[in-house]
Amino acid sequence: MIGARTRLYGLIGHPVRHSLSPAMYNELFQRYGQDAVYLAFDVDPGRAGRVAEAVRTLDLAGVNLTVPFKEAVLPELDRMTVAAEEAGAVNVLTQKGGVLMGFNTDGEGLVRHLEEHGVPIEGRRALILGAGGTGRAVASALLDRDAAGVVLLNRTVQRAEAAVGALSRRFGHVLLDAAPLSPAAFASYAPQADLVVHCTAGGGAELVASLDPSLLPGSATWIDVNYWMPDPPQQAACDALGIRFHTGLGMLVHQAALAFELFTGNPVEAEDLARILKHEQSHA
């Protein structure tokens, strides 16, 4: 029963009505006997700069963040992890003793999903579509697992170049490159790519749909982190070509498992979250 001592967690983003996070976290809170509740807050992106203040004022114990809040909140944090610094974005905030701590579990969530499915990372080259917070987090996590190189394609190429510059300070020994997110640039890099990770927001779907996955090696894997999209761009094309395609649900459950442990101190298996999601989807 919700009471005066119930800890409040939530998702801050726009839009959030599609989110599966409340179902996942509330089921886990109940399972582990946590006096806590998780809600979805649909916040006007124009108020992104006030999110940290709201978390402090309302004494929220922790929140997950989506674009554009992942980056806007950075100047207001007390501390952040190295992974968050490299990503230039946070997707998890915790507040303990008045201290706001920022984490980024996106990249680690993705690589754990790939490892779970036997998709090799070490020595492989990745082509990342989008150089926002998620794209940079994914790039950093792949390089941490000894990927041979990463190329970031972004609609604003200067943003991709800035991300490559930041990554090169730690991973200067591997191939790092930036280019526009365009059919021509994709065609240039695709033949050498082992992994393609689509990390643009929903607005980039039409541009991603214009790319030609037939230029990829047949052994390549395509991952689309936008788990909420019912028909991800290039899924049908990859299926027809025999290229392995992964939706973002695997990344979602792994990063959510990491976030739940940060929130509560209780480790949880990603498989448990996957079962919760499957149950929720079957009753939607």
b/e map 130-155, b = 16+ CB within 10 Å: bbbbbbbbbbbbbbbbebbbbbbbbb
23-56 pLDDT, tens digit each = 899 999 999 999 999 999 999 999 999 999 999 9
Same-fold call for 7-104+250-282 versus 107-247: yes
Give CA separation, 63 vs 10, 226, 266, in Å. Answer: 5, 19, 16
120-172 pLDDT, tens digit each = 999 999 999 999 999 999 999 999 999 999 999 999 999 999 999 999 998 98
Contact 130, 208 (CB under 8 A): no
How would DSSP label each residue in 233-256?
TTHHHHHHHT-EEE-THHHHHHHH
CA distance 226 to 110: 12
User: The pTM is what?
Assistant: 0.92
164-216 pLDDT, tens digit each = 999 999 898 899 999 999 999 999 999 999 999 999 987 789 999 999 999 99
- Residues forming the active site: 70
Confidence of residue 283 (pLDDT cuts 50, 70, 90): low
How do strand 99-103 and strand 79-80 relate by DSSP bridges? parallel
What is 107-247's CATH superfamily? NAD(P)-binding Rossmann-like Domain (3.40.50.720)
Domain residues of the chain, as ranges? 7-104+250-282, 107-247
What is 7-104+250-282's CATH superfamily? Leucine Dehydrogenase, chain A, domain 1 (3.40.50.10860)
